[in-house]
A and B are shown apart, each in its own frame.
Chain A
Amino acid sequence: MAPSFAGITDFLNGTVLAAGVFRSKNSPAESAVPLTERREHSMFNQSFDRRDFLRAAAAAGLWFSGTPLVGRAAEQRGAERGKSLVTFWMSGGASQLETWDPHPGTEIGGPTKAINCSIPGAQIAEGFPLLAEQMHRLSIIRSLVSKEGDHERGAYHLKTGYRPDPTVIHPAIGAIAAKELPSPGVDIPHFVAVGSEPFPARGGYFGDQFDPYRIYEAGQFGANLEPHVEAARHERRLEGLKVVSDSFSKGRSKRLEQTLHQHTIDAALRMMKTDQLKAFSLKDEPAAVKAAYGDTPFGKGCLLARRLLETGVRSIEVAQGGFDTHADNFTGHTLRAGILDPALSTFIRELAERDLLDSTVILVISEFGRSPKINPLQGRDHWPTGFSCLLGGGGIKSGLVIGATDPKGEKTDPTDPIGVADLYATVLHSLGVDYEKEIITPIGRPLKLSDGKKVERLLT
């Protein structure tokens, strides 16, 4: 009994030590200022100088217009342009067998047929004839492996690259990109999520300011962007706000500055006024372009994503739901393919035409795949081992097909498995983010942005 007792006490001490180099060890001298030390990472507990403040403000997406602009992102093309990330999120768990990894003519393949695509020797499901022509611009991974078979946990894992941990909330990959790659001159939010889905991406330990700005319906202007009163009165109200803020500022002006309250308001006001807001509107797009994307919420979302990209938005997520096909899997996927095919293919074609493909990492992914076994309801259940994704653009090698799943569905594990963390290490690397950088999280534990290893084969 004794060793284990000592063991766990050590363990608790150990956790404490491992968890925080910032934590005092209760010696009186050290414990005098435990909070300062422990919370050194916190934005609000530092003595701020102006540089720190600007850095914090920039990191918080609150860049102000006074800063020198590095040329408008919208006008930049090719290598001079900073990289962005667009994730197409297939909410509910898209079946690999009905999308990028069909096994026609086998028992597990069901009625789904396959067609050739522009990657020599590779086939995708027959519901994607338009995308098939664009596939040479992407690569297919058919061997993603995860251990999370629940929607919420799976979505967390596939959005952050980390498995859920009750002690810390990791930032989504889109939030990492938005934080690590500031976008000066962009007055609209740097991380935008389009469409509604049950487990939205989060800013996690970076803070709420890195949560995505949500557009529930593409084409609908963002909410709350118009003042209730006419311009002159609005200006007068803002003057009133300044009077009230000045009054509160007495005796705490520096501390008040650190709250970023006024800077958040300024950023919101800039957003209300900026020309860039028109990126959210689809009105000016030619009818033919709209038709090519498809008159569906997802199609509009993809068109919106292209417009946001052109404006310089760093991360965009467009969600399409309805993939949780425990029953009637094949009809469900046929319907969704009809939505995805025109939207995704037009998006990729337009990016290539507008010279945006090299600066945009594209990811088409789900929280997990679906079981090879077809259940009695003609459905497929959750399947976190051996599922598929598409990725490309932005320095990712195209035309590759990585991994393979067992055509008989007997072997659970695919060949050449790729872990989720490794996938995201690769994505972050190609975006130009040092994914091994350690961040001191609010719990005092240093965490890498991704604990995976980049997959060299996927990089150009």
Chain B
Amino acid sequence: MRNARFSLLLAPLAVALGLVVLVVGAARSPRYPIPPMPQESELADALGTGGKIDQFFAERWNSLNIHSALPADELTILRRLSLSLHGTVPSLEEIRRFEADGEPQRLERWAIQLMNDRRFADYFAARLARGFIGADGGQFIIFRRDRYTEWLADGLHENRPFDDLVREMIDSKGLWTGVPSTNYVTQAFADGVLDQNKLAGRTVRAFLGQRIDCAQCHNHPFADWKQGEFQGLAACFGQVKVSGIGVEDDAEKKYEVEDRMTLKTNVVEPAVPFGKEWWPEEGTVRHKLAAWVTHPDNRRFERAIANRVWGMVFGKPWMMPVDDLPNPPASPDAPRDLLDLLGADFREHHYDLKRLVFVITACRPFRLSSQHPAYETGENSDVVDANWAAFPLVRLRPEQMIGAMLQSSSIKTIDQNSHLLTRTIKFFRQQDFVRDYGDLGEAELEDRSGTIPQALLRMNGEFARDVAKTNPANASGRIAGMAPTDAAAIETVYLCCLGRRPAPAEFAFFIKAGEENGKVQRALMVEDVYWALLNGPEFCWNH
């Protein structure tokens, strides 16, 4: 009797559990065909631009009399692609598939596939958002970073033209939740008041790649008249108002500025500092500003995003800082620099961000080794570095670090197909780790060296221990339990962490170090290999 009641109770539970298992199973068994070949003409066209860029670099290296590094091997390039497009290292599963893919244009096809993966949109959007809406908390309720980032990620995933996205940011109306692009405007609210100066400075820095913020500063030696021009830009946001229905424009509203010397209030009219012919006749002021910023003749627009994306792909922008570029060469006959080459291709192809990323990843500097005679001797290494004659060594950002550590602790790819639990753990660990590791905020593309707390966190932190410690669920445990030989175990840990195979000296060391009383203690050995790899420079730096 008791048993019957028990099974009666258990039956629906079992059905529910069975369903969950089935659904999760179905969701987790994606098919992985080899990445398809893109349309031939399109590929040839993009590679054609890549060729022009290669030509640009070849001439540059020639004129400086420096040799470029040798090409990097393809697994290393896959790691770079994965780090810059997904913020993580490739999984063992991906490495095996990549190695098994014998079709032509392997790297090109994989780059495209990585970009069509939702992880690209999510990761790239989060990083672009740093430049577009900053890293501050912003005003409670009316600023929703999460909604904005999701909207931007959707845009990237659907491959919406970038100029279109920017126009929507500058000129959208509605609630910060329903129309997430309005958070671009609400980022500038503090204490319920819109700071038009902040928005003007942000717009020029984010989309035109120049810092004019200092023109609002009184102490600047030439501030008097420049300040007027800065105010003209700020006035472009002068009609914005926020109400219960969200961000709106009030055509009657005047932008007034108090002169601190005379204490008189002046009305400032919207004005732009250059390119007045791009200013349309019709529409609200924000609409006009959006059109002006994204006007095809506004070369700053394409150059700024080219420099930023170059920075996101390499970890280091073409020109530093990422948002303070010199004016574009004025004369039409001036030689076209890299940003012009990339920018023109971007504009001519409907501001297609994925194509821009693709072109950059297809060009020679991205495919070069990070080993170079100059890096060995130190002689001329600054010239090699400055001219991209070798792939730069760049420290992984905190998100990349956590992403790489998490991925290396799993055999399978951690993505949107992963188990909800895995993704939840990933989310929380990411938050904690980024806090402890040190968030770079907006300054994410600047050169940084590591810190002592970071080294301590990697060596002795709880998370690092969990990654290395063998248990039945993680890669460490599975490798220790299932690898046919000790050497195979070591090799697999290397592939999971570094995406390469160990050198003979490395094999020899770890096998010997793992021996105790003449027998290799497999689990301990695997843990120690993990520990050494996660703390090594090869794991912590993009190369």
Contacts and interface: CB of A to CB of B under 8 A. Distances in A.
Given A12-B212, A43-B447, A252 B375 contact: yes
A454 B213 CA distance: 28
Interface stretch (B110-118, B234-242, B383-391): B383-391
B427 to A, nearest CB: 22
B318 to A, nearest CB: 8
Contact of A259 (B136, B324, B449, B453): B449
B327 A12 contact: yes
A251 B379 contact: no
B510 A240 contact: yes
A266 to B, nearest CB: 9
B451 A243 contact: no
A245 interface: yes
Given A8-B226, A228-B465, A271-B452, A247 B460 contact: no
A226 B448 CA distance: 26
A60 B321 CA distance: 22
Contacts of A11: 212, 215, 222, 226, 229, 273
Contact of A268 (B64, B274, B440, B452): B452
A240 B454 contact: no
Contact of B509 (A167, A213, A239): A239
Interface string A249-274: 01111111001111011011001100
Contacts of A264: 449-452, 454-455
Contacts of B24: none
A211 B451 contact: yes
Contacts of A260: 449-450
B509 A240 contact: yes
B319 A34 contact: yes
A223 B276 CA distance: 57
A8 B371 CA distance: 45
Interface residues of A, number: 87
Contacts of A165: 213-214, 217
Contact of B452 (A61, A253, A259): A61
Contacts of A241: 531-532, 535-536
Nearest to A19: B324
B528 interface: yes
B459 A224 contact: yes
Given A12-B210, A223-B456, A254 B381 contact: yes
A242 to B, nearest CB: 9
20 contacts: A7-B225, A7-B229, A8-B229, A26-B327, A33-B386, A47-B381, A152-B136, A209-B450, A211-B451, A243-B509, A252-B370, A252-B393, A253-B376, A254-B378, A259-B541, A264-B452, A267-B452, A268-B459, A271-B456, A442-B321
Which 9 residue pairs spanning A and B have beta carbons closest together? A251-B371, A8-B273, A240-B532, A254-B378, A255-B375, A268-B455, A35-B386, A36-B386, A244-B536
Given A33-B64, A47-B381, 6 more contacts: A45-B385, A150-B191, A165-B213, A167-B321, A240-B529, A264-B454
Interface of A: 1, 4-5, 7-9, 11-16, 19, 23-26, 28, 31-36, 38-39, 42-49, 60-61, 150, 152, 165-167, 169, 189, 207-209, 211, 213-214, 222-228, 233, 236-237, 239-241, 243-245, 247-248, 250-256, 259-262, 264-265, 267-268, 271-272, 442-444
